[in-house]
Amino acid sequence: MDRERVKLRIAKDSGFKVFVIVLSFLSMVPLFLILFYIMRNGLSSLSWEFLTELPKPVGEAGGGIANAIVGSFLLVVIASLPAIPMGITAGVYLSEHKVGRLSYLLRLAVEVLQGTPSIVIGIIAYLWLVISMGGFSALSGGIALGIMMLPVITRATEETLKLIPDALKEASLALGVPYYRTILKVILPAAFSGIATGILISIARIAGETAPLLFTAFGNPFMNLNIIKPVNALPLLIYNYATSPYPEWHSIAWGASCVLVGVVLLFNLVTRIIARRWKVQF
Amino acid sequence: MESTVLKTKKLSAYFGDNRAVKDVTLSIPEKMVTTIMGPSGCGKTTLIRCFNRMHELIPDAKVEGKVFLREEDIYAINPMIVRRRVGMVFQRPNPFPTMTIYDNVIAGYKLNGLELSRTESDRIVEESLGKAALWDEVKDHLRRKGTFLSGGQQQRLCIARSLAMAPDLLLLDEPTSALDPKATARIEKLMTELKKNVTLILVTHNIAQAGRVSDLTAFLYLGELVEFGPTEQLHTAPRDKRTEEFLRGKFG
**What does each C-alpha distance from A46 to A19, A36, A253, B163 come to in angstroms?**
40, 15, 11, 63
Interface-testing mutation among A175, A180, A184, A188, with chain B (most B C-beta atoms within 10 A): A175
Beta-carbon separation of A190 and B98 below 8 A: yes
CB contact under 8 A, B112 and A173: no
| Predicted local distance difference test score (pLDDT) of residue A61 | 79
- Give B52's contacts in chain A (Cβ within 8 Å): 174
Q: Over its length of 252 residues, how does chain B's per-residue pLDDT go in tens digits?
A: 468 999 999 999 999 999 999 999 999 999 999 999 999 889 999 999 999 999 999 989 999 999 999 999 999 999 999 999 999 999 999 999 999 999 999 999 999 999 999 999 999 999 999 999 999 999 999 999 998 999 999 999 999 999 999 999 999 999 999 999 999 999 999 999 999 999 999 999 899 999 999 999 999 999 999 999 999 999 999 999 999 999 988 765
Q: Is B6 strand, coil or helix? A: strand
* Residue B1 confidence (pLDDT): 47
Q: What is the pLDDT of residue B104?
A: 97
Tell me the shortest Cα–Cα distance from B172 to chain A, in angstroms.
12
Q: Is the pLDDT of residue A282 over 80?
A: no
Q: How confident is the model at residue A70 (pLDDT cuts 50, 70, 90)?
A: very high
pTM for this predicted structure: 0.87
Helix, strand, coil: what percent of chain A each, to 5? 75, 0, 20
B138-145 CB contacts, 8 Å cutoff, 24+ apart: B138/B101, B141/B101, B142/B100, B142/B101, B142/B102, B143/B100, B143/B101, B143/B102, B144/B100, B144/B101, B145/A281, B145/B97, B145/B98, B145/B99, B145/B100, B145/B101
> Which of A167, A176, A181 lies nearest to residue B94, judging by beta carbons?
A167
Judged by a CB distance cut-off of 8 A, whether residue A93 touches chain B is: no
φ, ψ for residue B25, nearest 5 deg: -125, 120
Residue B158: its chain A contacts at CB < 8 A?
171
Residues of B in contact with A174 (CB under 8 A): 52, 54, 83, 87-88, 90
Distance CA B53, CA B86 (A): 9
Q: Name the residue in chain A with its Cα closest to that of B167.
A: A175
Residue B177 gets which letter from DSSP?
T
Q: Is A189 on the interface with B (CB under 8 A)?
A: yes
pLDDT at position A3: 84
pLDDT of residue B2: 66
On whether any CB of chain B is under 8 Å from the CB of A174, the answer is yes
* DSSP-H helix ranges across A43-162: 48-52, 66-96, 101-115, 118-125, 131-133, 138-162
Distance, CA of B85 to CA of B80 (rounded, Å)? 9
Residue-level pLDDT at A105: 96
Cβ contact (<8 Å) for B83 and A175?
A: yes
Beta bridge partners of B63: B13
Residues contacting residue A86 through CB under 8 Å, at least 6 positions apart: A150
Task: Give B145's contacts in chain A (Cβ within 8 Å).
Answer: 281
Mean pLDDT of A183-190: 95
What 3-state DSSP class applies to A16? helix
On the question of pLDDT at A266 being above 70, the answer is yes
Query: Which of A58-62, A208-212, A219-223 is predicted least confidently?
Result: A58-62
User: Distance between CA atoms of A249 and A234, rounded to whole angstroms?
Assistant: 13
Minimal CA–CA distance to B132: which of B212, B197, B84, B82? B197
Q: How confident is the model at residue A1 (pLDDT cuts 50, 70, 90)?
A: low
